[in-house]
Structure 1
Amino acid sequence: MRTRFAVIALAGVAALSLAGCNPQGAAMGGGGDATSDEAAAVDAVNIIVPADPGGGWDQTGRAVSTVLTDGDMVGTAAVSNIGGAGGTVGLASLANERDPFTLMVTGLVMVGAVETNAAENRIEDTTPIARLTEEPLVVVVPASSEYETLQDLVDAVVADGQAVTITGGSAGGADHILAGLLLEEAGLDGAGITEKLNYIPNAGGGEAVSLLLGNNAAAGISGVGEFAEYVESGDLRALAVSSDEAAQLLPEVPTMIDEGFDITYTNWRGLLAPGGISEADAAGLIDLVTRMRETEGWQDALETNGWTDAFLTGDEFTSFLDDNITEVSGTLQNIGLIS
């Protein structure tokens, strides 16, 4: 079976540390090995959500804020939405941030967007704090759609090309990559995928739902948590999920493997801090997020949103990011989204 993973650890291969290519010196992975005795006290944080309200990053940022403040772990955890260009506008804002106790939500979407937008500011310029979650994606269509199965939809794209519109998150992000992988499974190469795929990026889950319910898109791709309520209400129909087993929020929906597509693809989300912060400040943030992860409030957030715990911090998260950036860049090239 040829299985695709968005989250990958290259077993047996020593990952190159991102600190080695970081222009801000020890920022990448800073504090990953610091002890709790060396960690700075964190009394308040600012949280940047690099997307408009309503999507998975917004859900993550607000869940972090709620758990931290409700648990009296910090006095304040203000959330700011800075959307645009797959999170790279928010990434640029983080690069100019002077408060070391700033956390920005990140994830697979941003990894792809940095490449497709040739962004000046890169994830390598930040301080990785923690990978928090992973989540399967789901392909949905309006309730009245003629496409009854995932195969029906993919066949239509292959046959009719640009006439079949698919909406998802930013260009080059997880949703876009998954659309490309589905067409690759159907036998198209990079040039063929580029010719056939009519992909409409949107700024968040709310915009995607509006496009679908207004019949301005034939299908949508996003995280299960963003579409689940509309599937349950009957406004949308789910064709398949990208996990290797049934998704918690949509247990009746088949997997892509069930539908004959050799694809398993999960989206991760995590937290970054500004580059160049001290090891003590980075360790303080890692300690704070580690304690948050152990709370009942965070465990409830995982269950409510259908997120899988995928916790990594410090150097382990840095190594994961290095692998993920390499893998996503290769995938984007293979399916014709970057040259």
Structure 2
Amino acid sequence: MGELRRSATRRCVTIAAGLVLSTALAACGQNAGESASGSYPTETVKLMVPAAAGGGWDSTARAMQQVIQKKNLVAHPVEVFNVTGGGGATGLAQLQKDKGDPHALMMTGLVMIGALQRAKAPVSLKDTTPIATLTAEAEAFVVPANSKYKTIQDVVTAYKQDPTSVTFGGGTAGGSDHLVTAQLLKAAGADTSKLKYVAYSGGGEATAGILSGDVAVGVSGVSEFESQIKSGGMRLLAISTADAREVGGRPAPTLKEAGYDVNFSNWRALVAAPGLSDRDKQAVIGVIDSLHNTQEWKDLLATNGWTDFYKTGDAAQQYIKDETQRVEQLYKDLGL
């Protein structure tokens, strides 16, 4: 009888322990960093840059990787890799193969919306799970230091006199660099249909093309040209945002100050593969929230001249939807 009582007691303790453990696991499941398959991430996080190395998406992704790993925000590695082609369409199509996988993430932004619109791609950002908007950045108009163009007005005047004499160069055709150039010319009363624009697959290629004289005027995010501006290799003609700021240690002239009614920012965001469960989506957002709250991330924003533009979840999804509609209308208005 004593043994039976001891055995029954052991069973009761085991059941009680199981109930406590189940309760604890249920409570842990409410944490932002847990996915449907366990504590998130459960394997390597693969962060795709749908463009060549050296550009704005690439630098943002690698800054994220740096902070996440330095602060040990996740228990598994973060791998950044590049997929080029179609202004991001190739990478976006590849992301579709990872449906439902919270470990498959991708950089995106205004550049991609314009490129997909221009290419009439069969995929769109509707085919993703928006996680967060991250940064916004002014566009910079630059020329080599030995260029005959001293001001942005010089460029506009030359273009009006002979559109074929001025070739602009930047990121993907149809992207933010292309779009802001067309907006500048329209604001100046010039014919945007004659715009000559060379698209480069990454920031490194664009910088080489500008310095070699393959294009007369370079256009891209301020951070991509800042080191060249600071070293004297390039001359900054104007930035696209209305707010005054310094670039390369000097006050940056704006398009508004030059007399052109343009106030334009290029934003960047993070999306995941389509078909994520709400639980997995919140798990990914939890990691990005932790990233956003670090001092290291704030320092990188300041160092790179990136404006903090943080929205998550439904707010990010609505913003991307609104921007898609806005860019589509801009394309019609600008004849692109």
- How far apart are the structure 1 equivalents of 2:202 and 2:245? 21
Single out whichever of 300-309 and 132-141 deviates more from structure 2: 300-309
User: Which TM-score applies when normalising by structure 2?
Assistant: 0.86
The answer for unaligned runs of 5 or more in structure 2 is 1-28
Segments of structure 1 that go 5 or more residues without pairing to the other structure are 1-33
Structure 1 residue 126 corresponds to structure 2 residue 128: yes
CA distance, structure 1, for counterparts of residue 88 and residue 63 of structure 2: 18
Residue 257 of structure 2 corresponds to: 258
SS for the counterpart of 2:259 is coil
Retained in 2: the 8 A contact 1:241–1:247? no
Aligned length: 300
- The alignment status of 1:87 with 2:88, answered yes or no, reads yes
| Corresponding residue for residue 98 of structure 2 | 97
Report the structure, 1 or 2, having the larger helix content.
2
Report which structure shows greater RCO (CA 8 Å, sep ≥6): 1
1:56 maps to what in 2?
56
Kindly provide the amino acid, as one letter, of the partner of residue 255 in structure 1. Answer: T
* Distance in structure 2 (CA, Å) of the matches to 1:253 and 1:295: 29
CA contact (8 A) 1:286 1:314 kept: yes
Offset of residue 104 of structure 1: 0.4
Match of 2:235, SS state, is strand
Name 1:28's counterpart in structure 2. none
The CA distance in 1 between the partners of 2:31 and 2:122, in whole Å, is 34
- State the SS of the aligned residue for 2:114: helix
Q: After TM superposition, give the deviation of residue 38 of structure 1 in Å.
A: 8.9
SS at 2:209 equivalent: helix
- Once residues 157 and 230 of structure 2 are traced to their aligned partners in structure 1, the CA distance between those partners, rounded to angstroms, is 26
Q: Does 1:180 pair with 2:178? A: no
What is the Cα deviation at residue 143 of structure 1?
0.7
SS of 1:269 mapped into structure 2:
strand
Letter in 1 for 2:256: I
1:273-312 map, 5 Å: 273-312=272-311
| 1:213 to partner: Cα distance | 1.2
Between the aligned residues of both structures, percent identity stands at 40
In structure 2, distance between residues paired with 1:221 and 1:139: 5
> Paired residue for 2:7?
none
Letter matched to residue 132 of structure 1:
L
Question: Hey, what's the Cα distance between the residues in 2 that align with 1:247 and 1:113?
Answer: 29
Contact 1:139 1:220 in 2 (8 A): yes
Structure 2 residue matching 1:217: 3-state secondary structure: coil
Rg comparison, structure with higher value = 2
Aligned with 1:96: secondary structure? Answer: helix
Give the Å deviation of 1:249: 3.5
- TM-score, with normalisation over the residues of structure 1? 0.85
Match of 2:331 in 1: 332
Map residues 104-183 of structure 1 onto 2, 5 A cutoff: 104-183=106-185
